[in-house]
Structure formats: C-alpha cells, structure tokens
Amino acid sequence: MRITRRRFYGHPRLLDTLRDVASSLHERKGVTLLLGDLSMPRGGPMTGAHGSHQTGLDADVWFSVAEEYGAGRPFTLDDRENLPARKFGEGNVDATRSEMIRLFASHPSVDRLFVSPGIKRGLCRSFPGADDAPWLRKVRPWWGHEDHLHLRVACPPASPSCDGGKEIPPGNGCDSTLDWWFGAEAKAKGEAAVPPEEPILPEACRAVAEAPPWE
Ligand SMILES: [Zn+2]
C-alpha cells in the first residue's frame, strides 16, 4: 500500500518471512495481506517519524486484509494510495487478526512485533495460558499500531554489526508491565513523543549512500 513512497525494499530474510506468512494466512483464512512500509532503496533514514525501517529488517503490515474492502478485483493504484486502514483494539481482535499475529510471531525468523496495548490485552484474554501461546511473548505493546503491526526479523547470520536491540523480558507480557500501558504515565509519554532527531549514520553506510545510481 502507498507504493508511490517506494518503501518496499527489504532484506531477503524479511521478504521470505512476509511471503511465508502471506501464503499461510491465505491458506488458513482465505485472505490477502496488505503491506505498508518496509525500507527505502538502500535503507537509511526516511522522512516522517519512522526511527526504524532503516535496515531492511522491519515491515508494517496492515491489520485490514484486501478482501474486506469488497473490491472483488485487484486493487488499482488509486486504491493502494487512498484506501484507509481500519483500526483494531481490545474488543475486536477477531480470528483473522489473531491468526495473522500468531503466524508472524511464530515464524522462526521473527524477532518481535509491535501492536497497540489494547490488541495485546485482547490477545492475552484469548490465550490466557502462557504455555499454550509461547509466541505471545514476541508480541509487544507500543503506542500507535491500532491499524498495523510492526514486524522485525532477527539479525541475519554473518551480520556482525547488526544490533538486535534489547532482549525481550521473560514471560508472555500479559502481566503488570502490560497494565502500565493503560495508566497515566504511558498516556503522558505517548503525548509527549517528539520526532526523533536526525540519526547519525554509521560509517559503513557512507559507501551505500554515495554509490552511483543503480537504475
Ligand atoms: Zn513500523
């Protein structure tokens, strides 16, 4: 979706993951995934508030699926630019959304994914046994993410400068750490969020940024 932004580039590990889950979800639920931003060509910082999506390991996936727009035909360019993404929350994490999130979180290449705190709490209610849903640990709450999930695949092998980020705490995250997201402190932090400052690129990126055009 929003393909004129040309943010559809990613590491092969990310692309394989998206293809795997898209085909499993289609097989199980008969629906078609809609993808948002991946990375720009060659990666790097992009305009807007995206602090991530720079390394080809992140993707945004809409919670809405293509069939729900009732077009009955492939989307036109206009559809892909303008169709609105539907929001989901604690009360409407239905079978399609649960299965989409479960398939991503269960995929061996996926390190973690982010959904809204409300969606996380809905999933915690649907899968109360931590042993029944070990994948739930990888599903992390974050501000926004009512209409899409943010997916990150693990650092690929033989990529020593790849930083995998903070370790996910033990447990499925359906505990008091989740309650925090519904309190005043989380609300204030969400409202105070300021756009991140321009990141300083690692030296290794210079050769990529200064390479001649490839088209
Ligand atoms: Zn994202």
What does each of the 215 residues of the chain score in pLDDT, given as a tens digit? 999 988 889 999 999 999 999 999 999 999 999 999 998 887 777 666 556 788 899 999 999 999 999 878 899 999 999 999 999 999 999 999 999 999 999 999 999 999 999 999 999 999 888 777 889 999 999 998 999 999 999 999 888 888 888 899 989 999 999 999 999 999 998 888 665 555 667 777 777 767 776 55
* Residue whose pair of structure tokens reads 């930083």 in the numeric block: 163
Ligand 1 centroid vs 53 CA: distance in angstroms?
7
Degrees, nearest 5: CA angle 145-53-122: 20
Instruction: Indicate the pairing of strand 58-62 with strand 148-153.
Output: antiparallel
Measure 39 CA to ligand 1 centroid, in angstroms: 10
CB–CB of 185/95 below 8 Å? Answer: no
Going from the Cα of 168 to the center of ligand 1, the distance in angstroms, rounded, reads 18
| 126 Cα–ligand 1 center, Å | 25
pLDDT of residue 213: 64
State the distance from the centre of ligand 1 to the C-alpha of 148, rounded, in angstroms.
8
**Ligand 1 center–CA 38 separation, angstroms:** 8
**What is the C-alpha to C-alpha distance for residues 181 and 141, in angstroms, rounded to an integer?**
8
pLDDT at 129: 81
Task: Give the angle 103-107-111 at the CA atoms, nearest 5°.
Answer: 115
pTM: 0.89
Residues 6+ apart with CB under 8 A from 189: 143
Could you tell me the distance, in angstroms and rounded to a whole number, from the CA of residue 152 to the centre of ligand 1?
A: 9
